[in-house]
């Protein structure tokens, strides 16, 4: 037990208490709460002016987010989780405590949490420049993102994701990497938001419910089709983000060009024809470093390959990004996306792969004419899943 915890117990068992003792006790409780990163509900009510609509930053699939200010002046973002979370108070508290230990320059800092009656809240540091999608997909704001900034975002997110996968106190698969979950601070340093949702809202194999996981346009095909979540599903989503940063186009609202149904196919076809730079956002014309752009495109395509076994781990992605442009020899295979046709991988599952997939899943054929796609594999407990509102994927049992 910590020293403060020990004193706290002594104080608790003292038979008579003076007001001086009580003050002392309150102080100790505060210290204990700080150690556990627990916020009282009253503190968050006061910081957000009782969750006033004017303080609302937005509404995600897990609930609304409010801006707040603590008494010590720190700005915070408070996420009020929807009550539909299946987790009990104890499980929530345990997971939140663990997630609050996750610390990295490229990951949003979870300052703490609050469990108050049915309410469950997460308290994050406030990140000043909002989310990447708000800059990248709005024509008036895109110019602020020159190539250097975009390149720094790619490398920063890669490092943050590598940390989540391999360096943090526990292995964390994000499950919802997308431009909207990359926040930018006042110096444009990218910070991955909403990590740990896969732990706080675990997949439930037995209950149909309204929980959400993943966003349309970013989800790896094996995850959509079979619910197979692994770090390689994050690598796929990260690859989509790279291609969006290079092209300035949002994969989920891509207007088909010729035979290319989506951003990934379009980028791949141009890459194969040796015309990588045609993928580039015209807004980058004056700031781009062409070799760097071409290398990032190749890495993005490696990440979005259909077969997760062929996708690099984040460890490898970070290494590839550090290479001299023009020296990358890995050739990406055709990208996959929900509704595309898989080929069974002939390569056996290797130990260097952290994907942990059984190769059986690639025995399934998805009818490319039918986007409700029916998996024919016998190993899958799930069939295809329909996307709900907000492009989110409702969970199924
Ligand atoms: N720590 C933070 N600092 C500043 N703004 C934040 C922070 N966290 C979230 N936001 C803002 O709050 C809004 C809502 O975030 P939220 O994560 O709930 O929704 P989302 O990212 O659109 O969807 P999802 O549920 O898939 O994450 C976003 O626009 C985001 O920019
Ligand atoms: Mg979010």
Note the pLDDT tens digit of each residue in 92-133: 888 898 899 999 999 999 999 999 988 999 999 999 998 999
Nearest-atom number in ligand 1 for the CA of 180 is: 21
Query: What confidence score (pLDDT) does residue 76 get?
Result: 97
Averaged pLDDT score across all residues of the chain: 79
> Cα separation of 290 and 284, whole Å?
10
More confident residue, 362 or 338: 338
CA of 165 to the centre of ligand 2 (A): 19
What is the bridge-based pairing of β-strands 56-60 and 63-69? antiparallel
- Give the Å distance between the CA of 60 and the centre of ligand 2: 6
Q: What is the whole-number distance in angstroms between the Cα of residue 126 and the centre of ligand 2?
A: 13
pLDDT classification of 85: cutoffs 50, 70, 90: low
**Which residues are tagged catalytic?**
176
Q: In this structure, are strands 119-125 and 182-184 parallel, antiparallel, or unpaired? A: unpaired
> What pLDDT, on the 0 to 100 scale, is given for residue 26?
63
Once rounded to an integer, what is the mean pLDDT over residues 356-370?
31
Ligand nearest to the CA of 191: 1
Is the separation of the CB atoms in 260 and 269 below 8 Å? yes
Which of 271, 334, 237, 179 is closest to 280 using CA atoms? 271
Q: How far apart (Å, rounded) are the C-alpha atoms in residues 160 and 62?
A: 22
What separation in Å is there between the alpha carbon of 288 and the centre of ligand 2? 29
Where on the phi/psi map is residue 179: left (φ > 0), alpha (ψ -120 to 50), or beta? Answer: alpha
Q: Give the separation between CA 259 and CA 115, rounded to whole angstroms.
A: 51
For residue 344, report the phi and psi dihedrals to the nearest 5 degrees.
-65, 135
Structural contact between residues 299 and 242, judged by C-beta atoms closer than 8 angstroms: yes
pLDDT digit string, tens, across residues 303-359: 999 999 999 999 999 999 999 988 988 999 999 988 776 544 444 433 333 333 333
Indicate if ligand 1 lies below 6 Å from the C-beta of 177. no
Q: Which two tokens stand for residue 217?
A: 């346009």
**Whether the CB of 181 sits within 6 Å of ligand 1:** yes
Shortest-distance Cα residue to atom 18 of ligand 1:
60
pLDDT digits (tens, 9 = 90+) for 203-235: 644 333 333 367 789 999 998 888 888 999 999
Distance CA 168, CA 391 (A): 29
* 59 HSE (CA, 13 A, CB side): 6
Ligand 1 lined by 183 (C-beta under 6 Å): yes
Instruction: Output the CA 184–ligand 1 centroid distance in Å.
Output: 11
What's the rounded Cα separation, in Å, for the pair 251 and 204? Answer: 28
pLDDT at 379 over 80: no
Q: Which of 111, 180, 212 to mutate to test the pocket of ligand 1 (most atoms within 8 A of CB)?
A: 180
Residue 135 in contact with residue 141, Cβ under 8 Å? yes
Q: Model pTM?
A: 0.79
Which residues, 6 or more positions from 397, have their beta carbon under 8 angstroms from its beta carbon? 204, 205, 206, 207, 208, 209
Taking CA atoms only, the protein residue closest to ligand 1 atom 16 is 60
Pocket test for ligand 1, best of 47, 69, 74, 77 (most atoms within 8 A of CB): 77
């Amino acid at each position: 037990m910590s020293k403060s915890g020990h004193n706290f117990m002594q104080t608790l068992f003292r038979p008579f208490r003076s007001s001086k003792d009580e003050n002392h006790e309150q102080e100790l409780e505060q210290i204990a709460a700080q150690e556990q990163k627990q916020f009282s509900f009253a503190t968050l009510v006061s910081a957000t002016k009782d969750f006033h609509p004017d303080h609302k930053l937005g509404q995600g699939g897990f609930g609304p987010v409010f801006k707040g200010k603590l008494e010590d002046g720190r700005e915070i973002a408070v996420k009020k989780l929807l009550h539909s979370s299946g987790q009990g108070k104890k499980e929530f508290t345990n997971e939140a405590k663990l997630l609050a230990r996750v610390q990295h320059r490229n990951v949003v800092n979870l300052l703490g949490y609050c469990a108050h009656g049915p309410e469950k809240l997460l308290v994050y540091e406030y990140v000043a420049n909002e989310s990447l999608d708000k800059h990248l997909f709005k024509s008036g704001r895109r110019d602020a993102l020159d190539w250097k900034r975009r390149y720094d975002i790619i490398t920063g997110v890669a490092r943050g994701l590598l940390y989540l996968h391999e360096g943090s106190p526990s292995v964390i698969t994000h499950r919802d990497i997308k431009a909207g979950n990359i926040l930018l601070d006042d110096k444009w340093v990218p910070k991955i938001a909403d990590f740990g949702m896969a732990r706080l809202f675990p997949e439930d194999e037995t209950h149909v419910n309204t929980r959400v996981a993943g966003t349309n346009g970013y989800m790896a095909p094996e995850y959509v089709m079979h619910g197979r979540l692994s770090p390689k599903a994050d690598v796929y989503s990260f690859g989509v983000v790279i291609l969006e940063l290079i092209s300035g186009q949002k994969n989920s609202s891509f207007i088909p060009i010729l035979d290319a149904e989506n951003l990934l196919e379009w980028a791949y076809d141009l890459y194969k024809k040796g015309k990588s730079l045609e993928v580039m956002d015209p807004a980058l014309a004056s700031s781009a470093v062409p070799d760097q752009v071409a290398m990032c495109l190749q890495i993005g395509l490696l990440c979005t390959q259909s077969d997760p076994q062929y996708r690099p781990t984040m460890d490898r992605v970070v290494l590839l990004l550090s290479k001299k442009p023009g020296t990358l020899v890995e050739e990406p295979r055709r990208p996959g996306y929900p509704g595309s046709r898989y080929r069974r991988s002939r390569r056996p599952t290797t130990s260097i792969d952290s994907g942990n997939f059984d190769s059986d899943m690639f025995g399934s054929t998805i009818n490319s004419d039918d986007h409700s796609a029916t998996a024919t594999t016998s190993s899958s407990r799930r069939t295809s899943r329909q996307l709900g509102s907000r492009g989110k994927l409702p969970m199924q049992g």
